[in-house]
Amino acid sequence: KLQFHFNEHIFRLEQEVYESEGVSVPWTDYKDNQAILDLLELKGSGLFPMLDEEIQLPRTSDSTYLSKIQTAHEKNPHFVRTPASKLRIPNERQCFGVCHYAGPVYYDVTNFLDKNKDAVNADVKAMMKKSETPFVKSIMSLTDDDEGAEKSKVRSRGGTAKKKQRTLAIQFKDSLEALIESLSERVPHFVRTVKPNASKSAFTFDSELVLAQLRYSGLLEVCRIRK
């Protein structure tokens, strides 16, 4: 989303300003990552919503989640069903890939469901609430407030009401949206960092690595539009 925010301000909005002022500039093509954002978070079919749905269903596992997303996104050009064997990625049969703007990234689904639940042991919560340190005690109070505000009641098959869990994916999405909203209310200034080499060595400049980073981050297009 931060890359999308960068694209919005540097490319689309900038070009619209030029057009409104009658300044003739050639249209600059750039990599729009909206399709990748949809793959990750589109309601119903995104990787995050499907992960949240999976932990609400009975008899599910990391493998069932992987199978469902492979089926749902099999034809999506930004989704990699299974890493190629030549990449030698550990536990490759439990992995999938997402082609981000900077290249493909592979994810191992092992323990995805448990991590997404983000459950704190009840004994740990009880112990922290009894802490004599005000700060420690306040942490659990804030957690309880968040759970009460964010969890909604849903009906199970048996007709009893239970709270919908505030998952790690939801927390991450809400946190990122709050950041983007805050950034959108301000005039942004972007600073791009470029790694001179992959080994983090002094006085070493890898021109191919630097050029790849400039291309992935859209800086070459920025230079064209700012001429």
Q: Are 30 and 3 in contact (CB under 8 A)?
A: no
So what's the pLDDT on residue 10? 74
- List pLDDT tens digits, range 138-193: 877 655 545 544 444 444 445 544 555 678 888 888 888 898 889 888 888 888 88
User: What is the torsional sign of CA 139, 142, 144, 147?
Assistant: negative
Provide the pLDDT for residue 219.
78
**Long-range pairs for 95-99: beta carbons < 8 A, 24 or more residues apart:** 96/66, 96/69, 96/70, 98/36, 98/39, 98/40, 98/47, 99/36
Nearest-10 Cα torsion for 7, 10, 12, 18 = -170
DSSP result, 32-98: --HHHHHHHH-TTTSHHHHHHHHTTSSS--HHHHHHHHHHHTTT-TTEESS--GGG--TTGGGEEEE
* Highest averaged pLDDT of the listed ranges 16-20, 104-108, 218-222: 104-108
Q: Which sign, positive or negative, has the C-alpha torsion 178, 165, 45, 90?
A: positive
| pLDDT confidence band for 216 (50 / 70 / 90) | confident
Tell me the pLDDT tens digit for each residue of 90-106.
999 999 999 987 789 99
The whole-number average pLDDT for the span 104-120 is: 90
- Which residue has better confidence, 9 or 60? 60
pLDDT at 193: 87
**What does the pLDDT average to over 135-139?**
81
Q: Residues 40-85: pLDDT tens digits?
A: 999 999 999 999 999 999 999 999 999 999 999 999 999 999 999 8
What is the DSSP annotation of 149-204?
Answer: HH--EEE-TTS-EEEPP--HHHHHHHHHHHHHHHHHTS---------S-TT--TT-
**Model pLDDT, residue 151:** 47
For residues 42 and 26, what is the distance between their CA atoms, to the nearest angstrom? 33
Mean pLDDT, rounded, for 101-129: 86
Q: Which residue has the higher pLDDT, 172 or 9?
A: 172
The pLDDT of residue 50 is 96
Reply yes or no on whether the pLDDT at 121 is more than 50: yes
Residue 150: predicted pLDDT: 45
pLDDT greater at residue 136 or residue 41: 41
Rg (CA), the chain: 22
